[in-house]
Structure 1
Amino acid sequence: MKLENKELIEGAKKAALEVLLHNAEGPFNNLPRTAGWGYPEPYTRDLLISVLGIAATKNPVLINSMRKVLETLSLNQSKKGHIPSLVHDKDDRGASDTTPLFLIAVAIFREIINEPYFLKDAVNKALLWMDYQSPSDRYLVAQQPTSDWRDEQWVPGYGLFVNTLVYTYLKLLGVHDKAENLRNKMESFTITAAEAHHHVHEGLAVKNKPYYAFWSYKMYSSERFDLLGNSLAILSGIAPRSRAIAMTSWIEKECQFMVKKGELAPGLTPNFFPYIKPGEIDWHPRYENFNQPGEYHNGGVWPFISGFYIAALVAVGKFALAERKLLDLTKTIKLSRKPELEYGFNEWYKAQNGKPMGQDWQTWSASNYLYAAKCVEDKSTPFFDKIRQ
């Protein structure tokens, strides 16, 4: 890597640490805030995903803040094991991804602090809750629309993202039999025939495509591409190595094609494509205001997801491409809505022009930048390497 690029990345890493330390205490019970100014609340999923970046820093202030997040969540866990959507509010419930993210974060945090039984009772309750989220009792977990991080986009039934989280926590916690059964179910093809036979069960593999379906349920599915879910499928080892290599090549070719069509600015990777457009069957009236093509969940560029994609590139050994994408991400996260900021670490960027559209100094944008940089530097993916083996 050229000296000027190394200096650029080092500057961004220092800025990311500054963001995390700034956000480490907020106005709600001194819990971390989700963004520097716009989101003072401690949103569970954002803060749990940030455990990866915090692990990369080894900063004691941030580690203590994560301990407080996890312990508070265990106190606000429902009697049946569900984890709330806001760390401090036990009544804010209904998310499909908070409980599996809690299990992942605890497993990683146990390794960081060398306490193998940290929050053992809460973990056991959460595992039982997740066992009951499979309506068919065949390992795949189902969800309600808008119940995962895509709170403005419909993901009904067996969503890819949530099931990659389930596989990841099962592997991290050593529940290998269940993990393998789940992976086998995901490798089943989505059902495309007009009539489904009772002995045929849907999965998330897509015929003649290297990636996994966005979601699937009975005879319905979406074969649009979800960058977050597929990046986690690579990182966790759900995707066989040959599929993972083919998938990353396919992503880059599709992005080049989108750039030529004017749907994507050079150097960016959208979280979702092809974009849902007005008049299509997947379009909902509310998308008019919140989810235009290339925006928010409908193809916006999210730095925290780009961090997972860069880590996935490292996982398949595409080190030069991972380095280039890290540089692209570094240039992106410098952009901000507040002109006085040297680094914006914005929530999300418009795909067509890279304009920052969300909140600046977003915790998971900064944390996953640090995790991606760590992966590129070390040519490894901490915590995921061992579960892929």
Structure 2
Amino acid sequence: METINWLEIEAAKNAAVEVLIHNSDGPFHGLPRTAGWGYPEPYTRDLMFSILGIAVSGNQQLIESIRKVLLTLAKNQTVHGHITSLVHDKDDRGASDTTPLFLMGVGIFRKLTGENEFLEEAVQKSLTWMVYQSPSDRIMVAQQPTSDWRDEQWVLGYGLFVNTIVYSYLRLLGQDERADQMCKEMKRFTIEDMPKHKYEGLKVKSKPYYAFWSYKVYCSKRFDLLGNSIAILSGLVSVSKAEEIITWIEEECSQMQEKGDLAINIPPNFFPFVLPGDADWHPRYESFNMPGNYHNGGIWPFICGFYVAALVAAKRYRLAEQKLMELTKLVRLSQDKALKFGFNEWIKAQDGKVMGVDWQTWSAALYLYAATCVKERKTPFFDEMRG
């Protein structure tokens, strides 16, 4: 097994900060850009995720850039409390994850700065918006397909990822009673597994992890690495259940490597892949989501950063070090061979080829966060939730 190389990790962390500083002043009202090249726009979800890496960097320039993002989002908030998909464009609406990510981002920023009332009016409006996102008046929220970060993949109804963000912001904002209730709701079985329940949840009877999504008589039991990693980080699963999930992930990835479906020793964002002819295959996937590509099993460095942090949360420190080294190799890959570190958007699972754009903000930020978690054996902002 590879020994952790802190000199190499420090070099990657320095490069990540360089990327974030480069991206912190973009062409749209001086707001951060989503990537050094290819995505000059300030996408809300990307920048909200980046708060985790920026917060642990301690870099005041980056922290102030995120303050500007949050203030602009609040300014462009809709009358009903919804947060736009582009920070600067008040008319770009419809995402299911931007409002919960904004609430999580404000919660992290408050703890970072000690400004406990920061954007309180906007927070209250967004909390009201989120209450109305449950068709059954539950704590869990539902969504339309392609409305979260998976804008080329169907997530119908109660999606795991969005609901883990909701749970996280409830804890960060001190709404513990609602968070406790949500935890109970999510731990109900899917209707498919337990039809006696009046309301479905996201627990899967035959697997240790949470379902990808569930809504009434339908569900997907494919594995979502991001959603399950945040579930581990936030304490939605116990330490023993987290251990079961991690063991399952590593065993499945070993089998994928043996079959030639995985070329790198780090998990894809989603598996098993959706194949042409499967019931959940859509014709548009032919262009955007072939097996092992993009949302359908591509390897995303920012999600791998969450997985590394989840390993730390589960006290799998040795495995976390190993996966951090694998992630360090991954963030070196680039489209532009002149770059020492590419922090690319996503990588094809079967051959490890870089497929996205270089200097992606969330790839750099979540690398910083993951490296900090491994070094400190803590998961900043999530430790308190699990406690």
Residue type of the alignment partner of 2:182: L
Task: Tell me the equivalent position of 2:63.
Answer: 63
Cα deviation 1:79-121 (Å, max 9, x = unaligned):
0000000000000000000000000000110111111000000
CA distance in 2, matches of 1:115, 1:249: 40
2:219 alignment partner, SS class? strand
Task: Tell me the equivalent position of 2:52.
Answer: 52
CA distance in 2, matches of 1:58, 1:228: 25
Residue type of the alignment partner of 1:202: E
- Is the Cα–Cα contact under 8 Å of residues 309 and 374 in structure 2 kept in the other structure? yes
- Is the Cα–Cα contact under 8 Å of residues 104 and 168 in structure 2 kept in the other structure? yes
Post-superposition offset of 1:196: 5.0
Residue type of the alignment partner of 1:232: I
CA distance in 2, matches of 1:268, 1:231: 13
Aligned ranges 1:377-388 → 2 under 5 Å: 377-388=375-386
- Unaligned runs of 5+ residues in structure 1 are none
Task: Tell me the equivalent position of 2:17.
Answer: 17
Task: Tell me the equivalent position of 2:284.
Answer: 286
Task: Tell me the equivalent position of 1:164.
Answer: 164
TM-score of the superposed pair, with normalisation by structure 1: 0.98
Aligned ranges 1:97-176 → 2 under 5 Å: 97-176=97-176
Aligned ranges 1:176-255 → 2 under 5 Å: 176-192=176-192, 200-255=198-253
Residue type of the alignment partner of 1:224: R
Post-superposition offset of 1:352: 0.7
CA distance in 2, matches of 1:327, 1:266: 12
> How many equivalent pairs are there?
387
Post-superposition offset of 1:251: 0.4
Residue type of the alignment partner of 2:179: A
CA distance in 1, matches of 2:377, 2:339: 30
CA distance in 1, matches of 2:341, 2:331: 6
CA distance in 1, matches of 2:307, 2:79: 36
1:383 alignment partner, SS class? coil
Cα deviation 1:187-215 (Å, max 9, x = unaligned):
0000116x956x62100000021100000
- Percent sequence identity is 64
CA distance in 2, matches of 1:175, 1:4: 39
CA distance in 2, matches of 1:286, 1:332: 28
CA distance in 1, matches of 2:213, 2:70: 29
Post-superposition offset of 1:4: 7.6
CA distance in 2, matches of 1:192, 1:299: 24
Task: Tell me the equivalent position of 2:38.
Answer: 38
- Is the Cα–Cα contact under 8 Å of residues 275 and 291 in structure 2 kept in the other structure? yes
CA distance in 2, matches of 1:4, 1:93: 43
Task: Tell me the equivalent position of 1:270.
Answer: 268
Task: Tell me the equivalent position of 1:94.
Answer: 94
Task: Tell me the equivalent position of 2:337.
Answer: 339
Which is worse superposed, 1-10 or 284-293? 1-10
2:5 alignment partner, SS class? helix
Cα deviation 1:256-305 (Å, max 9, x = unaligned):
00000000013121000000000111100000010000000000000000
Post-superposition offset of 1:2: 8.4
- Is the Cα–Cα contact under 8 Å of residues 214 and 221 in structure 1 kept in the other structure? yes
Post-superposition offset of 1:344: 0.4
CA distance in 1, matches of 2:27, 2:264: 39
Task: Tell me the equivalent position of 1:348.
Answer: 346
CA distance in 2, matches of 1:187, 1:2: 37
1:221 alignment partner, SS class? strand
Residue type of the alignment partner of 1:251: I
CA distance in 1, matches of 2:297, 2:157: 21
- Is the Cα–Cα contact under 8 Å of residues 344 and 356 in structure 2 kept in the other structure? yes
Task: Tell me the equivalent position of 2:366.
Answer: 368
CA distance in 1, matches of 2:64, 2:184: 38
Q: 1:245 to 1:28 in 2, by over 3 A?
A: same
CA distance in 1, matches of 2:239, 2:12: 31
Cα RMSD between the aligned structures?
1.3
Residue type of the alignment partner of 1:306: C
1:216 alignment partner, SS class? strand
Residue type of the alignment partner of 2:56: A
- Unaligned runs of 5+ residues in structure 2 are none
CA distance in 2, matches of 1:366, 1:196: 43
Cα deviation 1:284-331 (Å, max 9, x = unaligned):
000001000000000000000000000000001000000000000000
Task: Tell me the equivalent position of 2:5.
Answer: 5
Task: Give runs of ≥4 in structure 1 deviating > 4 Å.
Answer: 1-4
Task: Tell me the equivalent position of 1:260.
Answer: 258
Post-superposition offset of 1:146: 0.2
Residue type of the alignment partner of 1:156: L
CA distance in 1, matches of 2:140, 2:113: 31
Aligned ranges 1:66-81 → 2 under 5 Å: 66-81=66-81
Cα deviation 1:332-367 (Å, max 9, x = unaligned):
110100111110000000001111100100000000
Q: 1:4 to 1:186 in 2, by over 3 A?
A: closer
CA distance in 1, matches of 2:110, 2:198: 39
TM-score of the superposed pair, with normalisation by structure 2: 0.98
Residue type of the alignment partner of 1:368: L
Residue type of the alignment partner of 1:145: P
- Is the Cα–Cα contact under 8 Å of residues 268 and 354 in structure 1 kept in the other structure? no
